[in-house]
Structure 1
Amino acid sequence: MDLAGYRVYRRVKGTSAWTKLATTTKRTYTDAPPTTGQTFYYEVRAYDKAGNESAGSSDQGPVTTYDDTAPTAPVLTATGVEASNNLSWTASADAVTYRIFRKRDTATSYTELAETTATAYTDTTATYGKAYDYKVSAVDAAGNAGASAVVRTARTITPPSNVVATTPSWGAVFTWTEPAGGDTADYEVYRSETSPVSISSATLTDCRSRKVRTDEAGNTIRSCTDYDGDQGRTYHYVMVRKNTAGLWSTGSQQLTVTRPGDEIPPPNVTGLTAEPLEYGVKLDWDDSTAADLAKYEVYEQPTQWDTPEYVGVVDAGTSEYVVGPDRADGEATRYVVVAYDIYGNSRIYADSNDPDIDPWSQPLSTVAVTELDLTPTAIPEDTAPCSLLTYTAVGHHGGMYIDCADSVPTEAAGINVYRWDPATSTYVRVTDVPLKPTATNYTDTTIPTGTTVYYVLSVVAADGSETFSNVDASVSLPSGA
């Protein structure tokens, strides 16, 4: 009288474990067993309102089902080596055979390669270096098949391994370990703005500064630097290598790096002035406001139509530069000062990627100046059989080379050196005693510092008369410079 209902149970033939299928107050139940080809038994148990359950009815069955359930899909792994593509996969519990399918990565349909009861296969018919897609189907006794995921690989030598990238301000630096055997003949680095990297469409970089070293463990380590690409942009890279047999590998593990910095050049310097000196020109400008400033470069541009020529560099934190030592001869010229940041950006290279744009056509900071003119107002006639070539000797002394005709050592009484004195507009002799006619050089230890000095030689004849050489200048730096 306290009957609450019935519980329906099912078990697989050959097992003792019952699975509860349903609870009902009716005396009928329709089951839709899984179509796995298994055989099942059933029993019914009554239970009361207190939850007590009776013993099971006599087993009913066996009931055999139709098998249309595919085996568990294998997990496929594919590895390309030089001689073959090697496949392996996990076993499926109810599979009786496995079918291997292959297609080129550019194809649309698969071809069955083989059927096997093993869980591995070696494909030696794949063309070296070409990418192939593989899949494996596990097939049960009823013909049901479960396919693995598609795996792509290619026959290849060992690609670069342990590849790492660092991004200093000047580029992307790649370092990788040489595979065992050390048979690398060449390697290439590909760059792409999209991921994954497709070597067929990626940019082949000009990876320079290639180096080879040996680490503490004895491994050969290679490195190179991609100096190109935009600062502040994210790029994806892969590397391939060629061995001494001429075979190229597949790509290495992809690396993704973001170049530091930006592509924004520092602003033009302001307040640029030029002060003519007796030994050159002093340039001065305002400190740049750029937080990432690295340096200034100074160029000379005689006229606005000339291409500027590099003169020197000034580190950040300094905003003046002395052009010289340079003779003060009244030349009119122009100077350009360009600011560079730590990423190499500057106004002259802001549009350098456009071949139709002259980098020097950009608005730049320039200053015009006319040098002081300390050239002698009187130039003696050059009739002496000797000539001079001046230079600035160690210690800021005025030096000169003397080049005379073969007749001078035997026919002349000596050689005098004269220096132009701007204060008196005359040449003053600086040699108390004439030099020997065999002299080939002379150093003026009394030269004024921080100025331009002009010299002339005189060849003293036996009768005391003098003939004069060309005039040449020597520039001395200030004391302590």
Structure 2
Amino acid sequence: MAAATLTAALATAGGLLTATPASAVTCASPSWTAQYYANTSFKGTPKLTACDSAIAENYGYGDPAGVTLPKDNFSVRWSVTRDFGSGGPFRLAAATQDGMRVYVDGVRRIDLWRNVSSTARKTADLTIPAGRHTLRVDYVAWTGYASAAFTYTPRTDARTDTVKPLAPTGLTAAYDRGTAKATLRWTRNKEMDLAGYRVYRRASGASWAKVSGTTLLTSPSFVNAPPVTGQTFFYELRAVDKAGRESTGSADVSTTTVDRTAPVAPTGLTATDGQGGVALAWQPVPGAATYTVFRRQQTEPGLPEAPVTQVTTVSSASWTDTAAAERTGYTYYVSAVDAAGNTSATRATASATRGDLAPAPATAVTAVFKPGTGIVVSWARSTSGDVERYDVYRDGHLYTDVSGSTYTDLTISHGSTYAYTVVAVDKGGNRSPVSAPASATTDGDLVAPAPVTGLTATPREDGVFLEWTPNTESDLKRYEVFKAEKYDDGDGGRVWLAHRVEYLGPDTTSFLHTSAADGENVMYAVIAVDDWDNQLDVTNETVHWTEVTELGTPTED
């Protein structure tokens, strides 16, 4: 198989090993969906369904790799549905030993349906209309040597191909004011004979001019630098096929270029240390869309200066630096930026030293009960940068501490309500105010489901087949299958010892436990488990055990 993807993928679900059916395989176009049959009539369920990137098979005197088929008298059916864009002239080419038939939208185009001792070849030229079409290749290996090859390719000489490509779609333009460049992106055309694209641009009222150069573009993007005049420019895209035919233009997109007038610099910058961080404020600048804040950490005299780094961009004339380290001095700078991306030539400056303060509290505390897991307590971290841990309180008492922003309480009882609060603690031992409380109530019960009834055990060559009456309780979660066998008790006697052999879903009413047919006497029980993980113990006297003798030669008890 060429680039085949086997379908018999194994998956583990709830401890039970299952096989994905062949019909579940989906092959992405333009890959072929290949179905392998152990007959020459394509009857019954395929032995394998796989995805092939091409039909180029040489089976020799055997059967395809990856699937068990007879070496003679097997068949393969390939099919693909794809978008041919504008369509046009195509050539179908088949080479086969033995039989091959090729269909386009259900119409037979190539017929080489006979048992041959050498490779038979045939081509067919046809025009495929625009849009989506389905190709199907039926292949049969009767006897002897087996091979199969098929291709479909566009005919691209200008005299034959008179169909121009479809107009491209999905054209977008994103203008970067920092680089003064427009990035165009679009959806690739579906034509198989596509050679590339050309980009055209015009100002309002002007004619179209090609801006993509003399070489066709082959990737679905293009960067252009329109004149930085503040004008609106329009773009359209045209596709070109290998015959040199150009499509009509795509839907137009537009972009407006930048201007180069910078706003004045901010004034009146102040920096004030407080509980939540260093609060900055400055005078608003007319025409400013955003402000860029920079910071330099102050160093001891004689040491090299620290670098100036950008820390944020804001739209208002104030900002609080919550990430400033305590007991550290900083100098701040602010620049104004207008809507065109121009930045003021100078920056306002101010300095402040961060004190050693209690951290800001944790916020947005939630407590959610999750059956089978516990109560999950979560919160938004403190905005202070030096928090080392969070102390979690349950019902007013310190319960645990964690470094993250979530904790799962496992020591809970059904039908109970618990209240949680959180305190942030920094590296200096300073404690934040207590957060707002969050509560959760556990659901469920403590009663195990009723015993499973109607259990039967039938010995088979491949194991013991179990069947039972379904448990009808509304909160049934799963079944657990147990097996008991006799073992030496160390004192010359024999005792029954039980162990779990499988987890099964709530809709299951039968199970084959595979085991050697060695004639031993064993016992089986099936126990129901509810959503709260309540279940009867294997030693409970109400649990129904069924004894069975496995097939084979009995062993001495």
Q: Same fold (TM over 0.5)?
A: no
* TM-score band, normalised by shorter chain: 0.3 to 0.5
Bigger CA radius of gyration: 1
TM-score by length of 2: 0.31
